[in-house]
Amino acid sequence: MDTKQLIKAAKEASIHSYSPYSKYKVGAALLTKNGKIYTGTNIENASFPAGMCAERVALFDAVKNGDTELESLAIYAEGENYPFPCGICRQVVSEFTRDIKIIIAKSENDYVIKNISELLPDTFEFSI
Ligand code: THU
């Protein structure tokens, strides 16, 4: 699975974005270590905080299926800016790995790659 293929999967996922409020269609494709791909899209709600980001839809689907070994994550959205993951999604990814390639794409040929450790250098971890 190469970078462009994962971006393509994220782009396809963005087609089903439910985003009547922001009109911002985001798609995510998460590749797990066993070679499976889980996709997600953003799902908005009239009660704005009830909405969900594309990345977490994909990640929660993987976790629900017992796949918590993560390889890489592509995020796709068309627009002027690269669709960097929000802070909450960075924290949620960090729960499962501190080493995952994150591909941030505004087209299939225009993307940047970061590791989660760069995007969230100091993560919150629960301890008592
Ligand atoms: N959004 C995502 O899907 N992922 C992010 O990391 C940031 C924001 C969505 C949420 C909302 O539907 C729209 O983008 C505008 O914030």
Would the pTM of this model clear 0.85, i.e. be above it? yes
What mean pLDDT, rounded, does the chain reach?
Answer: 97
Which residue has the least CA distance to atom 7 on ligand 1? 86
Closest to 58 (Cα-Cα) out of 43, 34, 38 = 38
Please state the rounded mean pLDDT for residues 64-80: 97
What pLDDT does 61 receive? 98
> Where does residue 107 fall: left (phi above 0), alpha (psi -120 to 50 degrees), or beta otherwise?
beta
pLDDT digits (tens, 9 = 90+) for 77-103: 999 999 999 999 999 999 999 999 999
CB 67 less than 6 A from any atom of ligand 1: no
Q: How confident is the model at residue 13 (pLDDT cuts 50, 70, 90)?
A: very high
The yes-or-no verdict on residue 1 having pLDDT over 80 is: no
Closest to 75 (Cα-Cα) out of 7, 16, 15, 22 = 7
The yes-or-no verdict on residue 6 having pLDDT over 90 is: yes
Domains and CATH numbers, the chain: 3-119 (3.40.140.10)
Number of H-type helices and E-type strands within the chain? 4, 5
Please state the rounded mean pLDDT for residues 114-119: 98
Best substitution site from 26, 56, 119 to test ligand 1's pocket, by max atoms within 8 Å of Cβ?
26
CA pair distance 111, 109, nearest whole angstrom: 6
